[in-house]
């Protein structure tokens, strides 16, 4: 029995290297003498899948760069998009996929996920590592250290065309910790999924959650004004910490450096512009307050998450270049969510802003295209005319911007990573299903090939498949 266990461990190690993880040479780390807000102590070991030359021919292509191309062709080579256009001739050496009557889009990107940190089945406490609710400020924790790569939710999301996800800590604290961006490839380690070079985010939460959690413990914050005081104190401490490091660096590194503080290190990374603020915030008035706090301390907010009242301040958000990651119709489950509109994303879009459809849920992540379709149809009923060529950005290009990776993914343009989905129908149709999915030009899901179907033991005994 022990021999079988050792063999299994060895097999899993090999599988990890073959499915997204490159082994790294061991080395004795040098003593660090500079802050490590940007330097990655847990580097990506992602390895792109094998990427043959592939041509998708005859599809309707939504590039997410503004175009809807009939009878389109997409050429992929060496993990990159080579060409996209109508009626392109396919060069010799390409494997041709007949996409007539089908649709092609960039890979789906979920800007707000808890897969891996609140794993399936989510009713099991042992798999709930999403919230370090021990202090209002836990900026020192990193979501990636809770990621369980074998969460079957990753497989279900991949079958729905999701190629990239940002995994966030929960919203119980003022500062929840660092986010991590993952490529949705099978792997036995977090590092094997980690998106190389993607910037970290900092999860901040405002509103009811932190004041309820800590007010219930008889400590601050117990009110929204307590929330704001907590943010400001933390940023004052972070600015002081950053000044000490700047002074030491300008002095040529003479003498002992300041002692590292993991909490302040993350906050200082935001102040320096290296870590992107991902802010859970529902109400319009609170978003406006958070913008003022950002101005006071000299940082920028990249995205407001959930943001059900974003429509009330859509011009302000567009002016500040702050994205809005929301749903189509989640509302009413607590007071700050009561004034939601199905047209929220469309109104942000119409104001010139960056609208995103996110999941925050292991089921919705499997239907982000349908969630976007619901938001789009609501816009049309309200007389807001938005084309599918524009709305496709809500779950591709715009989340790529929010995650700081828009230079590599999110659109079908030459030179971008070949993260591509072939749909059997219009992706804004309830009947659409992802037929094939590529990440970096390598096939990671094929609905017609049983080898790509999930066979996770962790699905056994669950009340229903998470599809």
Coil, helix or strand for 442? strand
Tens-digit pLDDT profile for residues 370-385: 999 999 999 999 999 9
Q: How many CB atoms lie within 10 A of CB 331?
A: 16
Residue 33 has pLDDT above 70, yes or no: no
pLDDT category at 459 given cuts 50, 70, 90 is: low
pLDDT tens, residue by residue, 189-240: 999 999 999 999 999 999 999 999 999 999 999 999 999 999 999 999 999 9
pLDDT > 90: percent of the chain? 85
Residue 294, pLDDT > 70, answer yes
Least reliable range by pLDDT among 27-31, 38-42, 193-197: 27-31
Alpha carbon distance, N-terminus to C-terminus of the chain? 35
Q: Which are the contacts of 51, defined by CB distance < 8 A and separation ≥ 6? A: 76, 77, 78, 79, 418, 440, 441, 442
Provide the H-helix boundaries in 151-217. 152-159, 208-215
Summarize the confidence of residues 424-451 as an average pLDDT.
97
Report the pLDDT averaged over residues 137-141.
98
Strands 95-98 and 103-106: unpaired
C-alpha 170/C-alpha 220 separation (Å) is 18
The mean pLDDT value of the chain amounts to 91
Q: What pLDDT band is residue 448 in, cutting at 50, 70 and 90? A: very high
Q: Which residues pair with 437 in a beta bridge?
A: 421, 445
Say yes or no to pLDDT of 113 above 90. yes
> Domains in the chain, please, with CATH?
107-409 (3.20.20.140)
Check residue 262 and give its pLDDT: 97
Both tokens of 406, joined, read: 């828009």
pLDDT, residue 13, reads 37
Q: What per-residue confidence (pLDDT) applies to 17?
A: 39
Q: Collapsing DSSP states into helix, strand and coil, what is residue 113? A: strand
Which tens digits make up the pLDDT trace of 236-282?
A: 999 999 999 999 999 998 899 999 999 999 999 999 999 999 999 99
Per-residue confidence (pLDDT) for residue 20, from 0 to 100: 53
Residue 293, burial from CB neighbour count under 10 angstroms (0-12, 13-18, 19+): middle
Predicted structure pTM score: 0.91
């Amino acid at each position: 029995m022990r021999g079988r266990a050792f063999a299994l461990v060895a097999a899993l190690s090999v599988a990890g290297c073959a499915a997204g993880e490159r082994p790294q040479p061991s080395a004795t780390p040098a003593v660090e003498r500079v802050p490590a807000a940007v330097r990655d102590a847990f580097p990506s070991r992602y390895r792109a899948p094998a990427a043959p030359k592939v041509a998708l021919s005859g599809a309707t292509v939504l590039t997410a760069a503004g175009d809807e191309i009939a009878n389109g062709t997409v050429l992929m080579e060496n993990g990159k998009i080579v060409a996209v256009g109508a009626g392109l001739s396919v060069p010799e050496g390409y494997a041709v996929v007949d996409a007539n009557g089908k649709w092609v889009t960039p890979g789906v990107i979920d800007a707000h996920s808890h897969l891996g940190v609140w794993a399936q089945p989510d009713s099991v406490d042992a798999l709930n590592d999403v919230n370090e609710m021990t202090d209002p400020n836990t900026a020192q924790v990193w979501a990636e250290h809770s990621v369980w790569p074998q969460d079957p939710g990753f497989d279900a999301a991949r079958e729905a065309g999701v190629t990239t996800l940002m995994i966030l800590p929960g919203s119980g604290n003022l500062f929840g910790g660092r986010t991590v961006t993952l490529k949705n490839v099978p792997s036995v380690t977090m590092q094997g999924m980690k998106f190389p070079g993607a910037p970290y985010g900092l999860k901040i939460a405002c509103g009811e959650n932190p004041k309820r959690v800590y007010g219930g413990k008889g400590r601050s914050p117990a009110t929204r004004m307590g929330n704001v005081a907590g943010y400001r104190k933390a940023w004052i401490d972070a600015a002081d910490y950053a000044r000490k490091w700047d002074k030491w660096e300008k002095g040529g590194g003479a003498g002992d450096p300041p002692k590292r503080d993991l909490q302040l290190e993350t906050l200082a990374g935001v102040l320096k512009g290296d870590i992107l603020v991902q802010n859970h915030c529902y109400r319009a008035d609170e978003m406006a307050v958070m913008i003022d706090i950002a101005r006071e301390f000299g940082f920028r907010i990249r995205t407001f998450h959930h943001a059900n009242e974003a429509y009330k301040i859509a011009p302000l958000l567009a002016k500040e270049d702050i994205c809005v990651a929301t749903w189509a119709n989640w509302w009413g489950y607590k007071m700050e969510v009561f004034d939601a509109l199905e047209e929220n994303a469309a109104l942000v879009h119409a104001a010139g802003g960056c609208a995103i459809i996110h999941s925050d849920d292991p089921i919705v992540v499997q239907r982000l295209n349908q969630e976007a379709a619901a938001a789009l149809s609501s816009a049309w009923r309200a007389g807001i005319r938005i084309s599918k060529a524009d709305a496709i950005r809500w779950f591709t290009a715009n989340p790529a911007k929010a995650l700081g990776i828009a230079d590599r993914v999110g659109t079908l343009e030459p030179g971008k990573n070949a993260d591509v989905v072939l749909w059997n129908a219009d992706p804004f149709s309830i009947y659409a299903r992802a037929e094939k999915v590529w990440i970096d030009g390598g096939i990671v899901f094929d609905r017609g090939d049983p080898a790509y179907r999930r066979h996770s033991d962790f699905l056994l005994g669950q009340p229903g498949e998470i599809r």
